Amino acid sequence: LTMLKFFLLCTLAVASRADIPEEEDVLVLKKSNFDEALKAHPNILVEFYAPWCGHCKALAPEYAKAAGMLKNEGSEIRLAKVDATEETELAQEYGVRGYPTIKFFKGGEKESPKEYSAGRQADDIVSWLKKRTGPAVATLAEVTQAESLIADNEVAVIAFFKDTESAGAKAFEKAAEAIDDIPFGMTSDDAVYSKFEVSKDGVVLFKKFDEGRNTFDGELTKENLLAFIKANQLPLVIEFTEQTAPKIFGGEIKSHILMFVPKAASDFQDKMDQFKKAAEGFKGQILFIYIDSDVDDNQRILEFFGLKKEECPAIRLITLEDEMTKYKPSTDAITAESITEFCTLFTQGKLKPHLMSQDIPEDWDKNPVKVLVGKNFEEVVFDPTKNVFVEFYAPWCGHCKQLAPIWDKLGEKYKDSADVIVAKMDSTANEIEAVKVHSFPTLKFFPAGEEHKVIDYNGERTLEGFTKFLESGGKEGGAPAGEDDDEDMDLDESHSF
């Protein structure tokens, strides 16, 4: 009887493992089968998603394709997904705060999964996972192995070293360990040297775009190799899409020039040729990106730059350092010469930031909540006799719409005050140097005085909370500017500008 019970328990355990449902080769996980899945598949990538999330929908076909690629190879690595809106306990356990959140559970370890950090195309996902589970550098002992590595990947880096224990080879291995989304190989085989016309030791980056390959030229150090790879791993000109966004924003190059252009336009290719020609001179310094201005999903980006569809094609430049700074060329012409001149002035530090502003409305101070734009902002908020409370909002932001009736009541409450002004500013159409807005709504208080102080509001968004804050002179519910921990709608809501 004991043996029979043991047999039945084993059978049940196997059945439960086999019972994890799949959709397009992707395991469907819930709290009830999560631990079982980790035991059955020690290396598993898990996407926490929301059914309504546009970014998740865009990822789905690539995620399924990656799952199929690994399954067909007989890999032990599996891909899984969790509906975080249903499995709220799991989502909370793994700190899911946005969608999609993708985590890699290695070796059945569930306590501290690794955050997925590469691109959102199938090849990116597969390369990242292989780098996480196998050696950082594949040994290429024959021509067919090298050919497969190049053929199967958009970008691949191969080191040619007769002595694979040399200092150069060690530096190459260290560089390989630092990059997750590109496969690295190393060979000492004469036939591989001959096949790829390599006559001496060195490193070659192979790619399916632009020049097709780049040969490293310099001292073989980890830092130099990483700089070489990062300068050459992306196309000279890259289209902004859901899939390329992680590469664009996650890269080392934080200065981006953007060409907003309708792809359907008859002169699209001519504009692209001019843009690409200019890009050649700024490789590794400025990322050249084009955005299809006709695509509905890109309209938010146009708004962020104060552009309308009918104003495209247009050029803008942005730096994504600690503070985002935008620049606008002095001419609307899109030629290699004009773009090169614009970028040269930028690299020389000779450009002034472009700050958008609407014209001052005639009735800006007619209602209890005053309307601020770039052109009247400083005059109003830095009036030494006034305490000014400003909401920086976006017309499309749901949080801002919820706040609007309360903000109007606050304005009504203080409309007859001699020293308190309640105001609002559309930050998608107006920018000022004094305040950098990263999320909506942002609430800031500018107390009276000559010091030009700025206090962030972090209290409850209620009429009572706002009133206490104002009556306390910005002390109750306030924090010095820059210390807020805002969880509101970010400017990008994921991977946009």
162 belongs to a structural domain? yes
488, part of any domain: no
Q: Which residues pair with 420 in a beta bridge?
A: 387
Are residue 332 and residue 375 in the same domain, yes or no?
no
Q: What is the pLDDT of residue 6?
A: 44
pLDDT of residue 479: 57
**Domain end marker among 231, 247, 272:** 231
For residue 289, what are the β-bridge partners? 238, 258
Same domain (yes/no): 246, 218: no
Do 245 and 162 belong together in one domain?
Answer: no
Is 353 within a domain? no
**Does residue 112 sit in the same domain as residue 150?**
no
**What's the CA gap between 154 and 124, in Å, rounded?**
9
Same domain, 379 and 336: no
* Cα 275 off chain centre by: 23
Domain boundary among 84, 111, 133: 133
- What is this structure's pTM? 0.61
Cβ neighbors of 68 (< 8 A, separation 6 or more) are 24, 25
Are 100 and 123 members of one domain? yes
Q: Which of 10, 312, 343, 400 is catalytic?
A: 400
pLDDT of the chain, 497 residues: tens digit per residue: 444 444 444 444 443 444 789 999 999 999 999 999 999 998 999 999 999 988 899 999 999 999 999 999 899 999 999 999 999 999 989 988 888 999 999 887 787 788 887 888 898 899 889 888 888 899 999 999 999 999 988 899 999 999 999 999 999 999 998 887 789 999 999 999 999 999 999 999 999 999 999 999 999 999 999 989 988 988 999 999 877 887 788 777 889 999 999 999 999 999 999 999 999 999 888 999 999 999 888 888 888 787 888 899 999 999 887 667 889 998 889 999 999 999 999 999 998 888 888 899 999 999 999 999 999 999 999 999 999 999 999 888 889 999 999 999 999 999 999 999 999 999 888 888 888 887 889 999 999 999 999 999 988 999 999 999 999 988 886 555 544 333 344 443 333 34
Q: What's the confidence (pLDDT) of residue 485?
A: 38
Inside any domain, residue 375: yes
Radius of gyration of the chain (CA): 27
Task: Specify whether 53 is catalytic.
Answer: yes
Decide if 20 contacts 82 (C-beta within 8 A).
no
Q: Are residues 309 and 382 in the same domain?
A: no
Q: Report whether 233 contacts 180 (CB < 8 A).
A: no
Same domain, 446 and 399: yes
pLDDT number for residue 480: 53
Structural domain range at position 290: 238-348
pLDDT at 435: 84
How does pLDDT run across 65-74, given as a tens digit for each residue? 999 999 998 9
Residues 244 and 343 in one domain: yes
Is 50 within 8 Å of 83 (Cβ atoms)?
yes
- Residue 14 lies inside a defined structural domain of this protein: no
Q: Which among 465, 421, 412 has a CA at the least distance from the CA of 446? A: 421
Indicate whether 181 and 90 sit together in one domain: no
* C-alpha span between 317 and 464 (Å, rounded): 42
Rounded CA-CA distance 91/112 in Å is 14
Helix, strand, coil percentages for the chain (3-state, nearest 5):
35, 20, 45
| Residue 10 falls inside a structural domain | no
Catalytic site includes residue 56? yes
Give how many domains the chain has, as a whole number: 4
CATH number reported for the structural domain that contains residue 278 in this entry: 3.40.30.10
312 is catalytic: no
- In the numeric block, which tokens belong to residue 317? 């430049």
* Co-location of 461 and 416 in the same domain: yes
* Domain presence at residue 403: yes
Q: Do 465 and 380 share a structural domain?
A: yes
Position 360 in a domain: no
